[in-house]
């Protein structure tokens, strides 16, 4: 069970890595996969872990 503060700390572990391949391939963003708890929290909030990214 999480407190509000520990839940925010858990959600903060989701990250987006911007990857620039060495060759002429375009850059891309790779996201960490949310845990079941993180996924459920985002569902309850009506949000996605990719908020702000396309």
Residue ranges of domains in the chain: 4-45
Q: How many CB atoms lie within 10 A of CB 26?
A: 7
Structure tokens at 30: 């790779």
Per residue in 1-54, pLDDT (tens digit) is 789 899 899 989 999 999 999 888 999 999 999 999 999 998 998 888 887 776
**3-class DSSP assignment, residue 8:** helix
For residue 23, the model assigns a pLDDT of: 86
- The per-residue pLDDT for 54 is 63
Q: What is the DSSP letter of 19?
A: E
Angle between helices 36-45 and 4-11 (to 10 degrees): 110
Task: Determine the pLDDT at residue 51.
Answer: 73
The predicted pLDDT at position 9 comes to 92
Retrieve residue 29's tokens: 């963003």
Q: Is-contact 13 32, C-beta < 8 A?
A: yes
């Amino acid at each position: 069970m999480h407190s509000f503060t520990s839940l925010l700390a858990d959600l903060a572990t989701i990250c987006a890595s911007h990857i620039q391949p060495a060759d002429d391939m375009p850059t891309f963003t790779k996201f960490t996969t949310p845990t079941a708890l993180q996924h459920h929290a985002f569902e309850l909030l009506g949000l996605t872990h990719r908020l702000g990214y396309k």
